[in-house]
């Protein structure tokens, strides 16, 4: 995948972006860090990646097509350098990008002499940072400390804003996603083939899908299928393409919950609760069907109604889902990051003057 190259504002140095990731597991938060690494290279920045895990260029993270150019091929800024130690080598023109709160101290200790904490760019990808029970409350306390914060949508930004030092950057850069990878056109109506309605869900964040399956075990109108382990993108796409309906099961403090967006791209009818940041793309009654959180009865009732819903109603939900996708574009995310790096450096220079 090739997006238009973002352009850095004048005066932003072409230094190195140091990306700290806790793992190379292809979870959404880690993938987004790697997307930012790609955006930085496209702007002309060098990139170094730091993780306690050993780097595997043939692992599932870099099997994602758009991330392959981080580990192969030539690039004007040189190859991405991967490190397994936790002490960065930051120069005077460098920034650090973190997502996991625990990486803040590592980045802070690695700043160049006299370096401002505004050089630490904290990509905030969920709302649980304000939960005092998460990671013993450290992420909540961290919000009050100086850093440049970029949130993946306005829901996350609104949640953390009361905690953040008003002198620090707090900005929104709407998440971009490769929804074209999951896209699938559909024939009219709910079912694409004779037989039961195919209902898909995952179990790694919620057990509500299994509780729905138990209630419908003897109902031959439905066939339920689940992914029970963290899956590759290819496996997820196969699941969405197989299904007619997707049970979206985000956690209450999600930042975005991408499976619902991916299922929309695949033309599934999405059933979802109103929790976390999934409402950044969900418009109940327009591109999805609203159910109560963790309520198997609500999911079952919605499924039973969909079985007899007119084809025009299903097609309208599906069309609205597809119309949502351009708002979550990787090129727009890259352009947004370029502008925000200009704001980061403005604060850095003021603090270091």
Kindly tell me if the per-residue pLDDT of 288 is higher than 70.
yes
Whether pTM exceeds 0.85: yes
- The pLDDT of 332-351, averaged and rounded, is 95
79, 96, 71: which is closest to 16 by C-alpha?
Answer: 96
Q: Which helix (H) or strand (E) holds 172?
A: strand 170-172
Give the per-residue pLDDT at 5: 74
Give the per-residue pLDDT at 167: 85
Point out the least confidently predicted range of 24-28, 73-77, 113-117, 174-178: 73-77
CA distance 207 to 33: 28
Pair 219, 336 in one domain: no
- The pLDDT of 320-327, averaged and rounded, is 95
Kindly tell me if the per-residue pLDDT of 1 is higher than 60.
no
**pLDDT tens digits, one per residue of 28-37:** 899 999 999 9
Pair 248, 268 in one domain: yes
CA distance 336 to 251: 27
- The pLDDT of 93-114, averaged and rounded, is 95
Give the per-residue pLDDT at 2: 58
Kindly tell me if the per-residue pLDDT of 100 is higher than 80.
yes
Looking at the structure of the chain, the number of domains it has is: 2
Structural domain includes residue 231: yes
Structural domain includes residue 10: no
Kindly tell me if the per-residue pLDDT of 291 is higher than 80.
yes
Pair 283, 269 in one domain: yes
Largest CA distance in the chain: 71
**Is there a contact between 177 and 263 (Cβ–Cβ < 8 Å)?**
no
Pair 321, 334 in one domain: no
Pair 275, 199 in one domain: yes
Kindly tell me if the per-residue pLDDT of 276 is higher than 90.
no
- The pLDDT of 291-317, averaged and rounded, is 96
Pair 66, 198 in one domain: no
Structural domain includes residue 185: yes
Taking each helix axis from N to C terminus, what angle separates 233-242 and 258-265, rounded to the nearest 10 degrees? 50
Pair 192, 312 in one domain: yes
Pair 44, 191 in one domain: no
Residue 201 pLDDT class (50, 70, 90 cuts): very high
Give the per-residue pLDDT at 3: 64
- The pLDDT of 259-288, averaged and rounded, is 95
Give the per-residue pLDDT at 75: 86
- The pLDDT of 189-208, averaged and rounded, is 92
Pair 209, 337 in one domain: no
Most confident of 3-7, 190-194, 211-215: 211-215
Structural domain includes residue 313: yes
Structural domain includes residue 2: no
Pair 276, 337 in one domain: no
pLDDT, the chain, mean: 93
The answer for residues whose C-beta is within 8 angstroms of residue 94's C-beta and 6 or more apart is 15, 16, 17, 18, 112, 119
Pair 251, 313 in one domain: yes
The answer for residues whose C-beta is within 8 angstroms of residue 121's C-beta and 6 or more apart is 95, 96, 97, 98, 147, 148, 149, 150, 344
Domain of residue 289 covers 179-327
**Domain of residue 57, CATH code:** 3.40.50.2000
**pLDDT tens digits, one per residue of 125-145:** 999 999 999 999 999 999 999
Give the per-residue pLDDT at 73: 79
Q: Which helix (H) or strand (E) holds 195?
A: none
Structural domain includes residue 1: no
Structural domain includes residue 262: yes
* H helix runs in 231-308, sequence order: 233-242, 258-265, 296-307
Structural domain includes residue 8: no
């Amino acid at each position: 995948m090739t997006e238009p190259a973002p352009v850095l504002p004048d005066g932003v140095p072409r230094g190195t972006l140091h990306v700290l990731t806790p793992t190379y597991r292809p979870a959404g938060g880690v993938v987004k860090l790697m997307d930012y690494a790609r955006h930085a290279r496209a702007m002309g920045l060098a990139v170094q990646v730091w993780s306690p895990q050993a780097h595997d260029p043939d692992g599932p993270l870099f099997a994602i097509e758009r991330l392959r150019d981080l580990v192969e091929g030539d690039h004007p800024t040189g190859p991405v350098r991967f490190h397994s130690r936790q002490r960065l080598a930051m120069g005077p023109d460098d920034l650090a990008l973190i997502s996991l709160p625990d990486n803040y101290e590592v980045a802070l200790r690695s700043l160049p002499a006299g370096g401002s904490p505004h050089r630490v760019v904290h990509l905030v990808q969920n709302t649980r940072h304000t939960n005092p029970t998460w990671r013993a409350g450290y992420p909540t306390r961290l919000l009050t400390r100086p850093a440049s914060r970029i949130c993946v949508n306005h829901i996350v930004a609104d949640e953390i804003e009361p905690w953040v030092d008003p002198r620090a950057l707090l900005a929104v850069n709407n998440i971009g996603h490769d929804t074209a990878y999951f896209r699938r056109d559909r024939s009219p109506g709910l079912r694409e083939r004779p037989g039961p309605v195919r209902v898909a869900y995952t179990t790694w964040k919620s057990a509500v899908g299994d509780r729905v399956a138990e209630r419908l075990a003897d109902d031959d109108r439905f066939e339920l299928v689940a992914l029970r382990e963290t899956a590759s993108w290819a496996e997820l796409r196969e699941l969405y393409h197989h299904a007619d309906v997707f049970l979206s099961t985000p956690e209450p403090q999600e930042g975005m919950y991408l499976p619902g967006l991916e299922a929309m791209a695949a033309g599934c009818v999405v059933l979802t609760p109103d929790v976390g940041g999934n409402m950044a793309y969900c418009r109940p009654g327009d591109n999805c069907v609203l159910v109560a959180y963790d309520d198997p009865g609500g999911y079952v009732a919605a499924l039973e109604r969909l079985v007899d819903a007119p084809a025009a109603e299903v097609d309208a939900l599906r069309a609205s889902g597809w119309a949502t996708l351009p708002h979550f574009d990787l090129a727009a995310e890259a352009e947004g990051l370029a502008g925000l790096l200009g704001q980061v450096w403005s604060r850095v220079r003021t603090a270091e003057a």
